[in-house]
A = this chain, B = another copy of it.
Amino acid sequence: MKRIGMLTSGGDCQALNAAMRGVVKSITVRDPEVEIYGFLEGYRGLIYGNFRMLSGHDFSGILTKGGTILGSSRTPFKTIKDPDENGLDKVEAMKQNYYKLKLDCLVILGGNGTHKTANLLREEGLNVITLPKTIDNDLWGTDMTFGFQSAVNIATDAIDCIHTTAASHGRVFIVEVMGHKVGWLTLNAGMAGGADIILIPEIPYDIDKVVDAINKRKERGSKFTILAVAEGAISKEDAALSKKELREKQKNTKYPSVSYEVAARIQEKTGAEVRVTVPGHTQRGGSPCPYDRVFASRLGSEAGKLILDGEYGFMVGIKNREIIKVPLEDVAGKLKYVSPDASIIKEAKMLGISFGD
């Protein structure tokens, strides 16, 4: 009989519940006595011993449910080694709760920051299995993360809706898509929504090239232009700044986000009316799409198998359509960026999409 701790950490996304259901179902089928301790609100629950015992009933009917039944929170990796406001050593507290509950393993679902902490716990001697959760699809070591495709669907829906209104009014529209560091989500939603210009963090843009692309469309008779702009899109000038200079600049900006700056510059240079739409946190919410449900279930199923086999220290991921295990130390701290030379970028350019470069 296994004793499993489980937690979801970082920004929530779709299919967290589906993944946890997968883990628990696949263990329960062979180890019906398994005990599941669900830590509440991410690492906070593990630090402060805040958990509830979960039974099969808790996982019934949650395959299609967005969010996470355990709650989540952001506990920044940067401060994980600092004591909390009462002087508590967080890492030590997590270890103590792990040993007090006599856990065989921790199942941790999260993104990049979460994986750094998970790897730290592994280094501290705990048994850890992780699942790659993020709408950003930026985790190293896996072709795909769950939540991504569902978020693409929501961002694409937004672009679809904007399309009809843009076409009716002959305006320039910007849809701001989530993604501070990587552009997978913006790239895919942009291509799926038929955006004319896509700006992502990995390909700094030249505002004049952006304006050229808009003007060329006008010349060809297109009355409107749609841009999909990542939250972390960056101009060539800004990309050339030092980190410190950039931080300073961003602190003093009058724009709520990058899209508004892009909008202002286009308006200034073309005179066109530019509108910005920010779907924001809706991109993390709602029911997971069928793709994510199947994928998260498969990951959960294989995670359960690893646990039953006593194989710890891995993230489960996907490679060439097969579920794989990747050593946590290989994953932690690495991001999977969109390469400006990737085939998909070339393909997008062949379709006439401008990246402003």
Could you list which residues of chain A lie within 8 angstroms of chain B, going by C-beta atoms? 8, 11-12, 14, 16, 22, 25-26, 28-30, 41, 61, 63-68, 71-73, 143, 149, 152-154, 156-158, 160-165, 167-170, 173, 188-189, 191-194, 223, 256, 275-286, 289-291, 293-294, 297-298, 300-302, 304-305, 320-323, 343-344, 347-348, 350-352
**Chain B residues within an 8 Å CB radius of A291:** 149, 152, 192, 291
Check A301 against B162 for contact (C-beta < 8 Å).
no
**Chain B residues within an 8 Å CB radius of A275:** 280-281
Check A67 against B167 for contact (C-beta < 8 Å).
yes
Copies of this protein in the assembly total 4
Decide yes or no: A162 and B285 within 8 Å by CB, A12-B168, A305-B350 being known contacts.
yes
How close is A17's CB to chain B, nearest CB, in angstroms? 9
Check A293 against B192 for contact (C-beta < 8 Å).
yes
**Chain B residues within an 8 Å CB radius of A281:** 161-162, 165, 173, 275, 277
Decide yes or no: A294 and B188 within 8 Å by CB, A169-B72, A281-B161, A285-B164 being known contacts.
yes
**Chain B residues within an 8 Å CB radius of A320:** 143, 320
Check A290 against B192 for contact (C-beta < 8 Å).
yes
Check B64 against A194 for contact (C-beta < 8 Å).
yes
Check B351 against A322 for contact (C-beta < 8 Å).
no
Decide yes or no: A280 and B282 within 8 Å by CB, A29-B351, A293-B192, A347-B301 being known contacts.
no
**Chain B residues within an 8 Å CB radius of A173:** 281
How close is A146's CB to chain B, nearest CB, in angstroms? 12
Check A165 against B67 for contact (C-beta < 8 Å).
yes
Partner of A351, one of B25, B65, B71, B343: B25
**Chain B residues within an 8 Å CB radius of A301:** 347-348, 350-351
Inter-chain CA distance A53–B244, complex, in Å, is 57
Partner of A68, one of B157, B168, B289, B351: B168
Q: Which 4 A-B pairs have the closest CB atoms?
A: A161-B285, A66-B164, A67-B164, A192-B290
**Chain B residues within an 8 Å CB radius of A12:** 164-165, 168-169
**Chain B residues within an 8 Å CB radius of A154:** 161
Inter-chain CA distance A279–B158, complex, in Å, is 8
**Chain B residues within an 8 Å CB radius of A170:** 41, 71, 73
Inter-chain CA distance A305–B283, complex, in Å, is 34
Residue of B nearest to A351 (CB): B25
How close is A53's CB to chain B, nearest CB, in angstroms? 18
**Chain B residues within an 8 Å CB radius of A41:** 170
Partner of A161, one of B160, B167, B282, B350: B282
**Chain B residues within an 8 Å CB radius of A63:** 194
Decide yes or no: A323 and B352 within 8 Å by CB, A12-B169, A67-B165, A165-B12 being known contacts.
no
Inter-chain CA distance A138–B323, complex, in Å, is 21
**Chain B residues within an 8 Å CB radius of A169:** 11-12, 71-73
Inter-chain CA distance A156–B280, complex, in Å, is 15
Partner of A280, one of B8, B73, B277, B297: B277
**Chain B residues within an 8 Å CB radius of A282:** 157-158, 161-162, 277, 279
Inter-chain CA distance A162–B67, complex, in Å, is 9
